[in-house]
Structure 1
Amino acid sequence: MTAGRDGSPALRPRPRAPQRLLFSFLGALVLDRGYPPISSRVFLHLLGDLGVAEAAGRATLARMTRRGLLTRVREGRTARFSLTPWAEELLREARPRVDSPAPFTHPDGQWTLLSYSMPESRRDLRHQIRARLVWAGFGGLRDGLWIAPGRVDIAAVFQGPEFAELAELADGFYSVPVEGTDVARLLHRAWDVDAIRAEHESFIATWKPDRAVSGRPLSRLTLLGADWLQLLRTDPGLPAEHLPDDWPAAASTALYRERFAALEPAATERLRELLEADAPRR
């Protein structure tokens, strides 16, 4: 194990995309905290502690700026970044599920069905809309037909002027299965249930040992949030009555909430120290 910048043992995270790490950090510790624009030095310090090379960190900040997620301002020789209103909206939309005490639970027997067409003129939106559908809990039953557990706000999925044309071509229904429907088989058609279980088990195996770790709360909280976001994208909240008795979703949720509560105060304090040290000198 190598040493970190402060001499403590360095974290050895499994690979996570730098943008996901920054979304985790910004959503958990920056959004609605009233901080001024944060310098690139703070971002690069955080990413560097997480194994991201400086060049990759700078490229991530530049890419997020081009995509309209960050606003960049120049203060002398220092570049500083803040969330754009659009990015703040995205993070606020995600927050209820991120913070939910039961993010994998829905009212029994309720489902949302969605059918939509992708106009040839808007093929450029294919990836974006699929990402929104997956985050909202949808799995594909067949071409053009998606299903999600619970009652999904379909209007929110297609929110935004760029999706207006798709929204006009979308039809959604709240429904219940016809008696005799093999819901368990349906789950395996729409989702890779084994892969979802594996993601939960990986999350638990990664974060249970964190109880015995000390120090580096900012880096650890950022990693925790990135892994939690990945798990929320993977598991839409499949109904427990159609899953094995030892389904690990409840254990993952309890572990996330425990580790977040343990790490957040010290992570917030560490961030404030970094911001104070990096504040412009008047």
Structure 2
Amino acid sequence: MTAEQDASPGARPRRRAPQQLLFSFLGSLVLDRGHPPISSRVFLHLLDDLGVAEAAGRATLARMTRKGLLDRTREGRTARFSLSPWAEDLLREATPRVRSPKPFTHPGGEWTLLSYSMPESRRDLRHQIRARLSWAGFGGLRDGLWIAPGRADIAAIFAGPEFAGLAELADGFYSLPVEGTDVPRLLHRAWDVEAIRAEHEAFLATWTPDRERHDRPLTRLTLLGADWLQLLRTDPGLPAEHLPDGWPAPASTALYRERFDTLEPDATGQLRKLLEADAGRR
């Protein structure tokens, strides 16, 4: 199930899964803010404002709890949720790139090559590994060989007890292209460059008109964060010198920073009022 909301009336509809929205909210306004466990009422209020039905919201909270992303406690008849230590680690790992002034830039012209094999007994982890590879900026160059711009942290990809032993099956190298290598052709083989551009253009089309709005800062900040995370997952930071003129990554970055800095104070204030009102219902 997905939520469809726009930052402005003229923007193209975008689809965001409820879990994406909650990760955005938790990473932007809850992580390391010192909040006590938050009641399901607050989560459901936020999701309702984002167009997510109550049943879908409750199912999302339950699913994230089963996955070990949220810890659930009860206070009388009220369920309360907090980030699990694992989810906190995941969000802290993402934070430097989310907040980076140049999240799509890698210095030095270096590349990371990675080859790994997945034992048949661990095939259940394939999707999780690929999700981590995507977040780390890797694209598939050919079967079993992945490439990422810059110096990717390979150890972080295989970190965690669930991936124990897999790092030993991976071989990674930091490298430079041989003179004469057609790097633009390589980029188009490993990534859908036009799809990446389209994702930037959709982000710009959605959030540029947001400058004219002055309502619902908490909702808009949550949507902004979800769209930004999606863009970071889509664009690994391909070198600008090998991309078409007018590549939109710098414009997307500037717009995100502007909108976040504008919305965050009011969103924080709105969340504080929601939490105070909820505490008064105990």
Name the structure 2 match of 1:169.
169
| Residues 13 and 70 of structure 1: CA distance in aligned 2, closer, same or farther (over 3 Å) | farther
Name the structure 1 match of 2:48.
48
One-letter amino acid of the structure 2 residue matched with residue 171 of structure 1:
D
Name the structure 2 match of 1:117.
117
Name the structure 1 match of 2:90.
90
Q: Does the CA contact (< 8 Å) of 2:37 and 2:81 recur in 1? A: yes
Cα drift, residue 108 of structure 1: 3.5
Name the structure 2 match of 1:195.
195
Residues in 2 aligned to 1:224 and 1:125: alpha-carbon distance in whole angstroms:
30
Name the structure 2 match of 1:80.
80
Q: Does the CA contact (< 8 Å) of 1:12 and 1:51 recur in 2? A: no
Q: Does the CA contact (< 8 Å) of 1:115 and 1:171 recur in 2? A: yes
One-letter amino acid of the structure 2 residue matched with residue 229 of structure 1:
L
Q: Does the CA contact (< 8 Å) of 2:12 and 2:202 recur in 1? A: no
Cα drift, residue 202 of structure 1: 0.1
Q: Does the CA contact (< 8 Å) of 2:111 and 2:148 recur in 1? A: yes
Name the structure 1 match of 2:5.
none
Name the structure 2 match of 1:4.
none
Deviations 1:192-243 (A, max 9, x none): 0000000000000000000001110000000000000000000000000001
SS class of match (2:244): coil
Flag structure 1 segments of 5+ consecutive residues without an equivalent: 1-8
Residues in 2 aligned to 1:276 and 1:270: alpha-carbon distance in whole angstroms:
10
Deviations 1:14-65 (A, max 9, x none): 2200000000000000000000000000000000001000000000000000
One-letter amino acid of the structure 1 residue matched with residue 70 of structure 2:
L
Name the structure 1 match of 2:159.
159
Cα drift, residue 165 of structure 1: 2.1
Residues in 1 aligned to 2:281 and 2:113: alpha-carbon distance in whole angstroms:
56
Deviations 1:156-183 (A, max 9, x none): 1110122122211000000000000000
Name the structure 2 match of 1:57.
57
Q: Does the CA contact (< 8 Å) of 1:112 and 1:149 recur in 2? A: yes
| Residues 69 and 161 of structure 1: CA distance in aligned 2, closer, same or farther (over 3 Å) | same
Residues in 1 aligned to 2:162 and 2:281: alpha-carbon distance in whole angstroms:
42
Residues in 2 aligned to 1:210 and 1:174: alpha-carbon distance in whole angstroms:
41
Cα drift, residue 245 of structure 1: 1.8
Residues in 2 aligned to 1:175 and 1:247: alpha-carbon distance in whole angstroms:
25
Residues in 2 aligned to 1:261 and 1:198: alpha-carbon distance in whole angstroms:
25
Residues in 2 aligned to 1:61 and 1:126: alpha-carbon distance in whole angstroms:
24
| Residues 280 and 86 of structure 1: CA distance in aligned 2, closer, same or farther (over 3 Å) | farther
Name the structure 1 match of 2:138.
138
TM-score of the pair, normalised by structure 1: 0.95
Q: Does the CA contact (< 8 Å) of 2:115 and 2:144 recur in 1? A: yes
Matches within 5 A, 1:21-36: 21-36=21-36
Residues in 2 aligned to 1:280 and 1:66: alpha-carbon distance in whole angstroms:
29
Question: Aligned Cα RMSD in Å?
Answer: 1.3
Residues in 1 aligned to 2:176 and 2:59: alpha-carbon distance in whole angstroms:
47
Flag structure 2 segments of 5+ consecutive residues without an equivalent: 1-8
Residues in 1 aligned to 2:270 and 2:18: alpha-carbon distance in whole angstroms:
20
SS class of match (1:114): strand
Residues in 2 aligned to 1:109 and 1:276: alpha-carbon distance in whole angstroms:
50
Name the structure 2 match of 1:5.
none
Q: Does the CA contact (< 8 Å) of 1:139 and 1:147 recur in 2? A: yes
One-letter amino acid of the structure 2 residue matched with residue 198 of structure 1:
A
Residues in 1 aligned to 2:16 and 2:63: alpha-carbon distance in whole angstroms:
16
Residues in 2 aligned to 1:187 and 1:163: alpha-carbon distance in whole angstroms:
29
SS class of match (1:121): helix
Matches within 5 A, 1:194-273: 194-273=194-273
One-letter amino acid of the structure 1 residue matched with residue 209 of structure 2:
P
Q: Does the CA contact (< 8 Å) of 2:24 and 2:226 recur in 1? A: yes
Residues in 1 aligned to 2:106 and 2:37: alpha-carbon distance in whole angstroms:
38
| Residues 146 and 97 of structure 1: CA distance in aligned 2, closer, same or farther (over 3 Å) | same
SS class of match (1:140): strand
Q: Percent identity?
A: 85
Deviations 1:98-138 (A, max 9, x none): 00000000014200000000100000000000000000000
